[in-house]
Amino acid sequence: MNDTLKSNKSIQNPSIHDVIISGAGPVGLFLACELALSKCSILVLEKAEDPHSPLKQLPFGIRGLSAPTIEALYRRDLLNELEIHKRLKNPHQNAKQGAQRQVGHFAGIPFLEGDVDTSQWKYRLPGSTATSLISEMQELETVLARRAEALGVEIRRGLAITGFHQTTDGVTVQSGDQSFQGKWLVGCDGARSIVRKAGGFEFAGTEPKFTGYSTKIDIVDPEKLSPGRIVTPTGMYLQSQPGYVVIQDFDGGAFHSSEKPITLEHVQEVLRRVSNTDVTISTLHIATTWTDRARQATTYRNGRVLLAGDAAHIHAPLGGQGLNLGLGDAMNLGWKLAATIHEKAPEGLLDSYYTERHPIGVQVLDWSRAQVAIMGLTPEARALNAIIRDLISTRDGATYFAGRVWGIFTHYNLGGDHPLTGYSVPHFELENGTAIGELMHDGHGILLDFDRNASLKTLADKYGDQMKYVSARAKEQLGLSAVLIRPDGFIAWACDSDPDCSELQKAAARWFF
């Protein structure tokens, strides 16, 4: 797949896109936005002709957004375009409010708002964006597609990638009898990614324990099913709203793998067995299956082909972390790939996409596996479940689980001595009323100087439009004198006292050209 092109002239052809993205889901669209923001030419190919589907809408399409995702959308001026979270705080019927409001769960074990001690997160400043909020797949895709097209991204639907051929200089992508030329190809085409399979990526991991069902049904005797999430000796079911039922059947993923049709009779048999009732279904409107199979690509790059989102990693959709993981991939990859395309990337910049995001994926997959382990039907699983249930009801326990579920602890190993290095930049409110996130709409890096140090401005000026110099005091500075912020909002360098310009220069040279 790495044949040499006979000529480099084709790369100069304006019909050749900088990047072709396979998949117009939230991850592919957000990546397209990031690349287009950096003046790259982008083509998105999506196999589905119609972007709308009941499975992308509430309640099936409901997704919980975590803190890093919310911050990323805010930093790109997209957060204010989301509406669902403004009117929907909890999608479940009979949901409690106030301190007893469920704000997340681990393996179906809820943690409550009143038990979470946010004061333990000392770097989350007043005015920070929410730690979690509710959206849906269709809302996200609509908002991101609108932004992408406004930035000049070409989105072509009804065109599934059927194969590709890469050389040292570019990628030729096939879709049926059509072909497209790009300098890079990114697979954001989901769990069954054609790009991953055709690209020869190893997809290592573990096999499933259950088949999950998401259904919309009419029930003759609805009183036989309890509302909410119900764990039984034979599995689990969740009725978020009347007639919207999710089921987990611990069959080792057998039914999902069988590719058999999902019939009313089958769903009724599974629901009766899992719920231990003789409930009767009169109509099956919608049904889809999924599993807890957990796999991850062993590398995210093969030459000029990269993976992001579910194409790079899959796991059980427990706690909704898959979407957030994928959007984090897009935010991390976008500016690095753009810098590479514009030949402004320091050595190793694009490789850092894998070294930073793969460990985050490992953590999320293990988090998913741990949940499945304590949802099992064995006595050992039940014993572990009881212990976790006790821990999650304590203040420290609820705070820990909330921090993990909401992504508060997301961290990249970027070196440096300051404890903030590698974490998302806090919500600094500057003396003129501007928040630091508002200065990140253009996707540039920022050197934030609280002490108006002339030598810092001189350094920032060397990097031109890659790095903005911002000199201002803030309402709360956390004892800092200056911070270097990457385009994705993560801190590359921080200093509490007089800046060591030699260390700052090293950090800047690592991320900026």
414-442 pLDDT, tens digit per residue, is: 998 899 999 999 999 999 999 999 999 99
Q: What is the pTM of this model?
A: 0.94
Strands 228-232 and 235-241: antiparallel
pLDDT at 412 over 90: yes
Ramachandran angles phi, psi of 31, nearest 5°: -65, -40
Helix (H, G, I), strand (E, B) or coil at 497: coil
CA–CA gap between residue 37 and residue 335 (Å, rounded):
9
Enter the DSSP assignment of 313. Answer: E
User: Per-residue pLDDT averaged across 387-412, rounded?
Assistant: 97
CA–CA gap between residue 377 and residue 234 (Å, rounded):
7
Closest to 238 (Cα-Cα) out of 269, 266, 271 = 271
**Which residues neighbour 177 within 8 Å (Cβ) at sequence distance 6 or greater?**
none
pLDDT at 380 over 80: yes
pLDDT of residue 345: 97
439-475 pLDDT, tens digit per residue, is: 999 999 999 999 999 999 999 999 999 999 999 999 9
Helix H or strand E segment including 371: helix 351-374
108-159 pLDDT, tens digit per residue, is: 899 999 999 999 999 999 999 999 999 999 999 999 999 999 999 999 999 9
User: How far apart, in Å, do the first and last CA atoms of the chain sit?
Assistant: 30
Helix H or strand E segment including 306: strand 305-307
User: Per-residue pLDDT averaged across 256-262, rounded?
Assistant: 95
pLDDT top residue among 499 and 476: 476
Residues in the chain: 513
Closest to 468 (Cα-Cα) out of 493, 494, 439, 489 = 439
pLDDT at 5 over 60: no
pLDDT of residue 7: 30
pLDDT of residue 318: 80
Secondary structure E strands in 137-210: 154-157, 163-166, 171-175, 178-187, 203-206
pLDDT of residue 1: 38
Could you identify the residue written with the tokens 């009732």? 277
pLDDT at 94 over 70: no
pLDDT at 8 over 60: no
Residue 110: how many other CB atoms lie within 10 Å: 21
Closest to 300 (Cα-Cα) out of 411, 184, 407, 206 = 184
pLDDT at 10 over 50: no
CA–CA gap between residue 271 and residue 128 (Å, rounded):
42
pLDDT at 408 over 50: yes
Percent of all residues in the chain with a pLDDT value above 90, rounded to a whole number: 86
